[in-house]
Amino acid sequence: MAGKNVFYAQSGGVTSVINASALGVFDEVAEHPSTFGAVYAGKNGIIGALKEELIDVSQMSSRERAGLLHTPAGAFGSCRYKLKDIEQQRAQYERLIDVFRAHEIGYFFYNGGGDSQDTAHKVSQLSETLGYPITCIGVPKTIDNDLPHTDCCPGFGSVAKYVATSIREAALDVESMAASSTKVFILEVMGRHAGWIAGAAGLAQTNEHPAPQLILFPERVFDRGAVMAKIAEVVEQQGFCAIVASEGIRDAEGRFVAETGIRDAFGHAQLGGVAQRLAEMVRDDLGLKYHYAIADYLQRSARHIASQTDVDQAYALGRHAVRLAQSGENAVMPTIVRTQDSPYTYTLGHVPLASVANIERPMPEAFISEDGFSITEAARTYFAPLIEGEAFPPFHNGLPDYVRVQYHLVKPKLAPFSV
Amino acid sequence: MAGKNVFYAQSGGVTSVINASALGVFDEVAEHPSTFGAVYAGKNGIIGALKEELIDVSQMSSRERAGLLHTPAGAFGSCRYKLKDIEQQRAQYERLIDVFRAHEIGYFFYNGGGDSQDTAHKVSQLSETLGYPITCIGVPKTIDNDLPHTDCCPGFGSVAKYVATSIREAALDVESMAASSTKVFILEVMGRHAGWIAGAAGLAQTNEHPAPQLILFPERVFDRGAVMAKIAEVVEQQGFCAIVASEGIRDAEGRFVAETGIRDAFGHAQLGGVAQRLAEMVRDDLGLKYHYAIADYLQRSARHIASQTDVDQAYALGRHAVRLAQSGENAVMPTIVRTQDSPYTYTLGHVPLASVANIERPMPEAFISEDGFSITEAARTYFAPLIEGEAFPPFHNGLPDYVRVQYHLVKPKLAPFSV
C-alpha cells in the first residue's frame, strides 16, 4: 500500500539550482514507494496549495524531469508569499489542511530561504495547532547564503562563480583599453543585507589577476571620500580599477547609496542603482572614464556557469530532505556540514526548523580586510570550494537546452479559494 | 635568411575572441620562417608602434601563448586612436616609418573594426605616399558585426550567444516569479547604430521558450505608446514580458531614449541607460513590477560562453591574413564567405581595404518583423550558425584560467615620441 502523498513547493527568489533540489526530492521519493504516494508540486509555491493548483509530477515527460537538473529558475513557479502566524491567518491554514486532506498529503517539502523556512515551520505546527498530521521538511535555497547552521545555501555557489567569472572577464576588457578609454568599471551585484556575493567575487583576484581591486560591502559604511581616494590610487598605480559593489551599501546616515531622491520634470522618481551612483561620483570627483554593469537576475539564473559543487549539494539536499521524512524526522531542514576545507569535504546534517526560521546569518567580520575593500584568506578558504567544478548544461542549437515544464494540474476537489 | 619582421596590433573595442586571431597570426607566421622574421605586438595597439613600445612575442611563455585562444579582451592592449589622413598627421606617419625601419618591419597586421580598417588602409598607402615598402593586412574584429563584405565579424557570434543565453535564463527566472513579483524584465545590450546584437538575442525565442517577447531595435523609431501597449498585451496574455533593448534606440525626434537630460541638486547630469528609462516608463505607464540588467562589458568579454564557430573563425582569419601576406597580397582584409546556411559552411576570402574602410554594414531590413518587435526567419537563418558550439575555456579553481601576458618590450632604438 502506498503511503501518503507528497507536496513540494518552491518559494522566494529562485536560483539556478533550485530545480536540482526538486529532482532530488522526486528521485528519493521514488525509491520509497511504501512510504510515499503521489508527488504534487505547488504551482507558484505555497499559493498552489492554497488555490488547489497542484502539478502532477508523474505527468512530466522524461525530458522535463531530467531537465530539472540543469534548468535554472523555478520550474513549478515560485512566489513571494509569507504566511503570518496561525492566529492572524487561520483561514489560510485551514485551507491548507482542507487541500492536504482532500489530496491525502502527508508530507510537505518547502524549498526556500529564511522566510520560507519560517513558513515551513508554521506548517509543521499544524498537527499540534489544528490537529492535522503532516511531516514538514524545509529544503534550503537562497543565493543570499544567509541561512544559519548550514555551510552554505544552494544557489549561492553558482552566483559566486558567475560574479567572480564576470568581474575577471570585464576587468581584462577594461585593462586592455584603459590607456585610451575606460579606466573604472563597476559591477553591481545582489546582497542587500550581507556581502556574501560581493565577497565571493573577490575570488577572481589572484597573483595573476589584480581585479577586483575594490569590493564595496554592505557591512561597511560607504564613505565617498575614502572610496574615491582608493579608486584614484588604484588607477594611478595599475592603470584601471574594477569594482564589485553590493546593491546594499549605505552611507553613514544609513541611507542606501542607490537611493536617488531625484525626480524628473513630471515629478516621477528616478530609478538608478548603486553602480550608476558610483559612476556619477567617479565622473564628478575624479573625472575618470567609467562603465558599469548591473547583473540583476542574470546572476541568479546563470545556470550555464553553475558550480558543480552547488548543483551536487542542491540535489543531495533534496534527496536528504526525503530521507529525513522517511526516517521519521519532522520540522527539520537538511544542512551541509563542512568537514574539510581543501579538498572540500562535507556531510549532510539537519537542524530543527525552529532554529532556522527568520534568522539571518551575517557574513563573518573576519572575511573583510582591514581597509574594508577586499577579502581575507579566511574568506577565500570558505568561498573557494563553493565555486568548484563546472556543471555545464546540455546545449541545443548553440543555446542551453532548458526545459519549460508543462503543468498537468490535478483535478480540484474543493471550491475555489482566493489568495 | 629570415624575412622582414612582423608588427601585429589590436584596435578599438576588444572582444572575447580577438586574442584567438592574434594566435592565428603568430601560428601562421611561424610556419613561414623564410618569409617572416620576428613578431612584435604593439602595446596598446597602434600607439605601441608610435611610442616604439613593441612587445616581443617570442618572449611569451608557452602558457601565455596557448592562453590566447581562450582569453578574452586584448592581451597586448588595444586603443581608441584613429589616424587621420596623411596630410593632416604627417608626423605620425613619418614616425611609424621610423619605427618600422628601425625594427625592420615589413608586415603590418591590424586587428580591428571599421575605423581600424581605415587606419590599416592608410598605412598600406605608406609605400606609395612616403616611399616605405610595407605589406598591410587588416584582420576583422568587431562585436558590432558591421564590417562589409564578410559573412560576420569575429567577436559578434560570442556576444550573440551570451545575450541569447542570458535573456533565456533571466526570462525563466521572471516567468517563475511573475505571479507574485516582477512581471517585466529588460536586458540592455550594445549596438548603438545597428540591431545586430539585439536581433541575435531573438534566437532565444523558440516553440518552447516565449522570451524575449519584445526586441527594441535602433532601426525602428521608439514609440512609447506602442511599446507600452505591446508590453501590457504580452503581460496580459503570458503573465510576464522579457525585453531586449538596444542601447541605441531613439525616439521620433532622433533623441536617444537613454539620454536623460536630468540633473541632480548640484546640477550634475544624471546617468542612466535605456533599460532604466524603459523601466521608469513601465512603472509610470503600466504600474507593473520591473527589473533590469545592463550587460555592458560583460557581454563582449564573456569568453566563458563563447561560440565555437566564432573562436574558429577568429583564429582562421588570423592565419589567413598571414597567408595573404605570404602570397603577395597587400591592402586587403580576409573575410568569411558563407557557402551554406545549414549545416553552416564557409570559405575564407578577402577584399581590398579600400572597400571596407569606414563603411558600416547595416542589419538588413528583412531581419525585423513587421511589427518591429522581433526577428524574421531570414534573421534566424543568418544568426543561428554563428552561435553554434561551445568553446569553454579551461578552468582552474572554479574560474576560467585566463592569461595576462607579461610584456617583454623590445629595446627602443629611437628617441621618445609623444602621442
Residue B360 is given by DSSP the state P
Mean pLDDT lowest for which of A83-87, A399-403, B89-93? A83-87
Q: Residue B268 above 70 pLDDT?
A: no
Q: Residue B1 above 60 pLDDT?
A: no
- Residues of chain A positioned with their CB less than 8 A from the CB of B74: 176-177
pLDDT value of residue A171 = 98
- Residues of chain A positioned with their CB less than 8 A from the CB of B212: none
Rounded mean pLDDT, B279-287: 95
Question: Per-residue pLDDT tens for A51-105?
Answer: 999 999 999 999 999 999 999 999 999 998 888 888 888 999 999 999 999 999 9
Residue of A nearest to B400 (CA): A165
Min Cα separation A328/chain B (Å): 32
Mutate to test the interface with A, among B165, B190, B383 (most CBs of A within 10 A): B165
H-only helix segments in A31-71? 46-50, 62-67
Average pLDDT, chain A: 95
Question: Per-residue pLDDT tens for B112-127?
Answer: 998 899 999 999 988 7
Domains and CATH numbers, chain A: 4-142+305-358+392-400 (3.40.50.450), 156-301 (3.40.50.460)
pLDDT value of residue A305 = 98
* Dihedral sign (CA B128, B129, B132, B137): negative
Query: What ipTM did this prediction achieve?
Result: 0.97
In this complex, is the C-beta atom of A192 within 8 Å of any C-beta atom belonging to chain B?
Answer: no
Q: What grid cell was written down for A260?
A: 536617488
Which is catalytic among the residues A144, A146, A151, A310?
A144
Answer yes or no: do B44 and A404 touch at CB < 8 A: no
Residue B353 is given by DSSP the state G
Q: Which residues contact B225 (CB under 8 A, 6 or more apart)?
A: none
Q: Which residues contact A348 (CB under 8 A, 6 or more apart)?
A: A316, A317, A320, A334, A335, A336, A337
Answer yes or no: do A180 and B304 touch at CB < 8 A: no
Answer yes or no: do B390 and A395 touch at CB < 8 A: yes
Answer yes or no: do B180 and A79 touch at CB < 8 A: yes
Among the partner residues A164, A172, A402, nearest to B301 by beta-carbon distance: A172
Interface contacts A/B by beta carbons within 8 Å: 247
Do the Cβ atoms of A115 and A142 come closer than 8 Å?
A: no
Distances (CA, A) of B119 to B54, B83, B335, B352: 18, 6, 18, 13
pLDDT value of residue B264 = 63
pLDDT value of residue A1 = 52
Nearest Cα neighbor of B94 from B116, B115, B123 is B123
Rounded mean pLDDT, A402-408: 98
Q: Which residues contact B191 (CB under 8 A, 6 or more apart)?
A: B144, B197, B198, B218, B246, B247, B248
Separation CA A302–CA A298 (nearest Å): 6
In this complex, is the C-beta atom of B75 within 8 Å of any C-beta atom belonging to chain A?
Answer: yes
In this complex, is the C-beta atom of B13 within 8 Å of any C-beta atom belonging to chain A?
Answer: yes
Q: For chain A, give the percent of residues with pLDDT over 90.
A: 88
Backbone angles phi, psi at A354, to 5 degrees: -60, -25
In this complex, is the C-beta atom of B162 within 8 Å of any C-beta atom belonging to chain A?
Answer: no
Rounded mean pLDDT, B87-104: 94
Q: Residue B302 above 70 pLDDT?
A: yes
Residue A192 is given by DSSP the state S
Min Cα separation B35/chain A (Å): 30
Answer yes or no: do B176 and A390 touch at CB < 8 A: no
pLDDT value of residue A87 = 86
Angle at A188 between CA A184 and CA A191, to 5 degrees: 145
Separation CA B33–CA B10 (nearest Å): 23
Give CA torsion, residues A54, A55, A59, A61, to 10 deg.
180
Answer yes or no: do A402 and B169 touch at CB < 8 A: yes
Separation CA A2–CA A311 (nearest Å): 30
Among the partner residues A270, A384, A390, nearest to B262 by beta-carbon distance: A270
Separation CA B301–CA A166 (nearest Å): 8
Question: Per-residue pLDDT tens for A3-58?
Answer: 999 999 999 999 999 999 999 999 999 999 999 999 999 999 999 999 999 999 99
Separation CA B227–CA A107 (nearest Å): 46
E strand map for A28-88: 36-42, 54-56
How far does chain A reach from its first CA to its final CA, in angstroms?
35
In this complex, is the C-beta atom of A75 within 8 Å of any C-beta atom belonging to chain B?
Answer: yes
Rounded mean pLDDT, A173-188: 96
Answer yes or no: do B291 and A297 touch at CB < 8 A: yes
Per the annotation, the verdict on A284 as an active-site residue is no
* Dihedral sign (CA B403, B404, B408, B409): positive
- Residues of chain A positioned with their CB less than 8 A from the CB of B305: 304-305
Distances (CA, A) of B94 to B9, B44, B126, B132, B417: 18, 19, 9, 10, 11
pLDDT value of residue B196 = 98
Backbone angles phi, psi at B269, to 5 degrees: -65, 140
Upstream peptide bond of A416 is cis (omega within 30 degrees of 0): no
Do the Cβ atoms of A157 and A300 come closer than 8 Å?
A: no
Separation CA B349–CA B333 (nearest Å): 8
Angle between helices B274-281 and B224-238 (to 10 degrees): 70
Q: What grid cell was written down for A139?
A: 529544503
Distances (CA, A) of A297 to A65, B169, B172, B187: 24, 8, 10, 10
Question: Per-residue pLDDT tens for A124-167?
Answer: 988 788 889 999 999 999 999 999 999 999 999 999 999 999 99
pLDDT value of residue A297 = 97
Distances (CA, A) of B22 to A233, B69, B99, B236, B318: 32, 8, 21, 50, 6
**pLDDT band per the 50, 70, 90 thresholds, residue B266:** low
Q: What grid cell was written down for B356?
A: 571596407
Backbone angles phi, psi at B137, to 5 degrees: -125, 130
Answer yes or no: do B169 and A400 touch at CB < 8 A: yes
Min Cα separation A221/chain B (Å): 23
Nearest Cα neighbor of B104 from B5, B2, B3 is B5
In this complex, is the C-beta atom of B343 within 8 Å of any C-beta atom belonging to chain A?
Answer: no
Residues paired with A368 in a beta bridge: A375
The radius of gyration of chain A's CA atoms, rounded to the nearest angstrom, is: 23
Answer yes or no: do B203 and A395 touch at CB < 8 A: no
Among the partner residues A47, A168, A260, nearest to B399 by beta-carbon distance: A168
| Helix H or strand E encompassing B399 | strand B399-400
Q: Which residues contact B14 (CB under 8 A, 6 or more apart)?
A: A173, A176, A177, B72, B73, B74, B78, B300, B301
Min Cα separation B2/chain A (Å): 31
Question: Per-residue pLDDT tens for A193-252?
Answer: 899 999 999 999 999 999 999 999 999 999 999 999 999 999 999 999 999 999 999 999
| Helix H or strand E encompassing B333 | strand B332-340
- Residues of chain B positioned with their CB less than 8 A from the CB of A172: 71-73, 301, 402, 404
Separation CA B177–CA B183 (nearest Å): 8
Question: Per-residue pLDDT tens for B20-43?
Answer: 999 999 999 999 999 999 999 999
Q: Which residues contact B385 (CB under 8 A, 6 or more apart)?
A: B309, B341, B342, B343, B344
In this complex, is the C-beta atom of A207 within 8 Å of any C-beta atom belonging to chain B?
Answer: no
Mean pLDDT lowest for which of A57-66, A300-309, B113-122, B403-412? B113-122
DSSP string, A295-336: -THHHHH-GGG-BHHHHHHHHHHHHHHHHHHHTT--SEEEEE
Among the partner residues A72, A173, A271, nearest to B73 by beta-carbon distance: A173
Q: Which residues contact B297 (CB under 8 A, 6 or more apart)?
A: A169, A170, A173, A174, A182, A185, A291, A293
pLDDT value of residue B325 = 98
Separation CA A292–CA A137 (nearest Å): 41
How far does chain B reach from its first CA to its final CA, in angstroms?
35
DSSP string, B124-144: HTHHHHH----EEEEEE--TT
The radius of gyration of chain B's CA atoms, rounded to the nearest angstrom, is: 23
Mean pLDDT lowest for which of A61-75, A332-346, B354-368? B354-368
Location of C-alpha cell 576545507: A341
| Helix H or strand E encompassing A111 | strand A105-112
Q: Residue B60 above 90 pLDDT?
A: yes
DSSP string, A172-187: HHHHHHTTTS--EEEE
Q: Which of residues 102-161 of A touch B (CB under 8 A)?
A: 161
* Dihedral sign (CA B144, B145, B149, B150): positive
| Helix H or strand E encompassing B19 | helix B18-30
In this complex, is the C-beta atom of A184 within 8 Å of any C-beta atom belonging to chain B?
Answer: no
Answer yes or no: do B168 and A399 touch at CB < 8 A: yes
Mutate to test the interface with B, among A17, A172, A310 (most CBs of B within 10 A): A172
Task: Please give the distance of CA B43 from its chain centroid, rounded to a whole number.
Answer: 19
Q: What grid cell was written down for A367?
A: 572575511
The letter for the amino acid at B179 is: A
Do the Cβ atoms of A148 and A361 come closer than 8 Å?
A: yes
pLDDT value of residue A218 = 95
